[in-house]
Structures are given as structure tokens and as C-alpha cells.
Amino acid sequence: MKALTRKIVRFAKSIPLLLRSIKMVYRHGGYSTVHIANVHCGEILKGKNVLITGGSRGIGLSIAKKCIQEGAQTVITGRSTDALERAKGEINSPLLKTLAWDVSQIPQMEAGLAKAGNLFGGDIDVLVNNAGIANGVAFPDVTENIWDEMYATNSKGLFFLTQAVCGKWMARKNDRIRKVINISSQGGFVGATYPYRLTKWDVAGLTQGLGIRLAPYGIIVNGIAPGIIATDMQPRFLQQNENVYCALNPLKRVALPDEIASLAIFLMSDAANFIVGQTIVCDGGFSLK
Ligand SMILES: NC(=O)c1ccc[n+]([C@@H]2O[C@H](COP(=O)([O-])OP(=O)(O)OC[C@H]3O[C@@H](n4cnc5c(N)ncnc54)[C@H](OP(=O)(O)O)[C@@H]3O)[C@@H](O)[C@H]2O)c1
């Protein structure tokens, strides 16, 4: 009798969780979980100085965490000082430095780079162009303001920062290998009707062009094209918490930022020195449909 009562109580206690799960599956159309195997190489980036634009949240923050685990001195940028402070508290490592810097402000580019150089106490070895903003307003409703805002960060800012950093590397002429990692999007490989996607075509094209142009200088440029990643940029999927289900994707799930970060670390490392001008699509098959 006691055993039966215990079973009934246990079942009654599990009802709220059961109801929550049913609601979650109903709301999102299905249920998927994800297990990530974190690749940890030791200190594969030891001695490197890595500058990550937009490192206070999402994919950039995940990349920063992994850079530090792999021994790199890392500077993250972003516009919000609060978000940078939160990132600093979360990572809590002397290898991390933060810099409030809006990459869309071209006249402030040299000053920003000088500050980053001071924080590193030396040269940048790896530039990760990750900062980005999104807006889904599409043709025929795009206004000039939307266009300009999107391009200022995602394309123009990225171009001029890369030019400033690589220009200095080209002038130095030494045997040191330097790297640029550009974060594009799977949207940079499919038809585009809105500025966000068009900027991501820019980034993939620039990666290819600079890959060829800079390889003779020992500067290796590659990129990553993420699919749907659960970050602030994808609020619906970020809010799903433990349910990463996504009907749009052949894998039936979105990815977590760590899955992009692992790929970024590989591309930054000397293990990827013969990959040039490629944008690696990491989208669970989304763009193949
Ligand atoms: N999440 C996705 O599904 C997805 C898919 C494909 C590609 N991507 C690309 O991946 C990159 C990272 O996206 P995410 O999902 O991690 O986005 P997120 O969570 O919104 O983070 C964006 C980061 O960029 C910073 N940022 C934005 N504008 C900036 C500017 N003008 N200057 C400096 N920093 C700036 C943000 O900080 P502040 O706001 O404080 O400046 C934040 O740190 C972006 O380039 C995005 O286009 C994302």
C-alpha cells in the first residue's frame, strides 16, 4: 500500500514538468536536444593576441571563452559597456580585456586599434570579424536608413577594420602567420532580398578576395557561415532553452554558439594553415535545401 502511495505521489509531482514539456513541444512544433562535444586542444593559441569584434554576447563571447581556454590573450569589443562588463565577470580571466568600440564608426578606427594594441601590449595576431546586427525587412520595403545601418556595421566597418589591421601586417614583412576569421552567414550563400543577407554576401566575397590577395604575405583569411544559432539575434530560439527544435533545419535543431566557436578555434590555429579564402558553412544542412 505504502509503495503504491509513493508511486502516486511521484507521478503527481511529475505532472507540472510533463505539462510544461507538452506545452513546449506544442508551441515549437517538436522537441530536440543537443549534446556538444567540446574540442579542447590544450593551449593551441598560447602566445597569440586575438581581437574579437562583438565579443560581449552570443557567438563572439563563446569564441572569446574558447580562445582563453586555449591560452590566447583576448580583447573583445562591443558598443554596450554593461554587456562588456557582464562578459568580463562571466569569463573572469586575466587573459580577457574589454574595449567599448563601435566598429561602424570609421573615423574612430585607428584610435580603437591603438587602444587594442595597448591592451595587448603588442601586435594583434588574429582578427575575428564577428560584430553584426540583423534586420529582416526585405524588398520592396527596405528604407535607406535600414540599408545604411546594416551596411555600416556588417560590411563597411568590417572592411575598414580588416584593411587597417592587415595593412599594418603587410608593412611588417616577417615570417609570423596572421589570421582573419570573418563571420558571414548561410544567408551569404543563398538568394538575398534584404540588406542583412546582402551584407553577408559581401563578407563571403571579401573572404575569398582577401584570401588570395593576402596569402603571399602569410596572412590567412577564412570565414564561417553559421546557420540558425541560439543567441540574442534569434530571440525565439534563445527562449526555447532546453528545446532546440527547429522544423526548418534538416537536423531538426538550431545550434549553440559553442559549435561555431570550436570551428573558429580550429581556423585560428596552425592546424588550419593550408585553408585559404574559404567560408565554412556550419548550418545543419539548412542551405542545402
Ligand atoms: N545567431 C545567428 O543565428 C547567426 C546566424 C548567421 C550569422 N550570424 C552572425 O554571427 C555574428 C554574431 O551574431 P550573434 O548571433 O552572436 O549576435 P548577438 O548575440 O546579437 O551579438 C552581436 C555582438 O555584436 C556586437 N555589435 C553589434 N554591433 C556592433 C558594432 N557596431 N560595433 C561593435 N560591436 C557590435 C554586440 O554588442 P553591442 O550590441 O553591445 O554592440 C554583440 O556583442 C554576426 O555577425 C551575425 O550576423 C549569426
User: Closest ligand 1 atom, CA of 60?
Assistant: 16
User: Which H or E element spans position 261?
Assistant: helix 257-268
pTM for this one? 0.94
Establish whether residue 150 lines the binding site of ligand 1, counting it when its CB lies within 6 angstroms of any ligand atom.
Answer: no
Distances (CA, A) of 55 to 128, 245, 261: 9, 26, 11
pLDDT tens-digit readout, 9-63: 888 888 887 787 787 787 788 989 888 888 888 899 999 999 999 999 999 999 9
Domain extent listing, the chain: 34-288
- Closest ligand 1 atom to residue 260 Cα is 10
Which of 197, 193, 287 lies closest to 248 in space, CA to CA? Answer: 287
> Distance from the CA of 188 to the center of ligand 1, in angstroms?
15
- Residue in 52, 59, 162 to alter for ligand 1 test, most ligand atoms within 8 A of Cβ: 59
- How far apart CA 95 and CA 75 sit, in angstroms, is 8
Ligand 1 pocket, 234 CB below 6 A? yes
Per-residue pLDDT tens over the stretch 108-165: 999 999 999 999 999 999 999 999 999 999 999 999 999 999 999 999 999 999 999 9
Please tell me the predicted confidence (pLDDT) of residue 84. Answer: 98
Q: Is 199 in the pocket of ligand 1 (CB under 6 A)?
A: no
Residue minimizing CA distance to atom 39 of ligand 1: 79
Is 133 close to ligand 1, i.e. is its CB under 6 Å away?
yes
Q: How far is CA 38 from CA 29, 97, 139, 199, 266, in A?
A: 28, 24, 40, 30, 12
Q: Is 183 in the pocket of ligand 1 (CB under 6 A)?
A: yes
| Residue among 52, 62, 65, 79 to mutate when testing ligand 1 (max atoms within 8 A of CB) | 79
Q: Which CATH superfamily is domain 34-288 in?
A: NAD(P)-binding Rossmann-like Domain (3.40.50.720)
State in Å: Cα 54 to ligand 1 middle.
6
How does pLDDT run across 169-219, given as a tens digit for each residue? 999 877 899 999 999 999 999 999 999 999 999 999 999 999 999 999 999
What was the pLDDT predicted at 224?
98
So what's the pLDDT on residue 278?
98
Residues with a known catalytic role: 196
In whole angstroms, give the CA distance from residue 214 to residue 56: 29
Length of the chain: 289
pLDDT of residue 66: 98
Edge-to-edge strand list for the sheet holding 279-282:
96-100, 73-78, 49-52, 126-129, 178-183, 219-226, 279-282
Q: Which atom of ligand 1 is nearest to the CA of 84?
A: 40
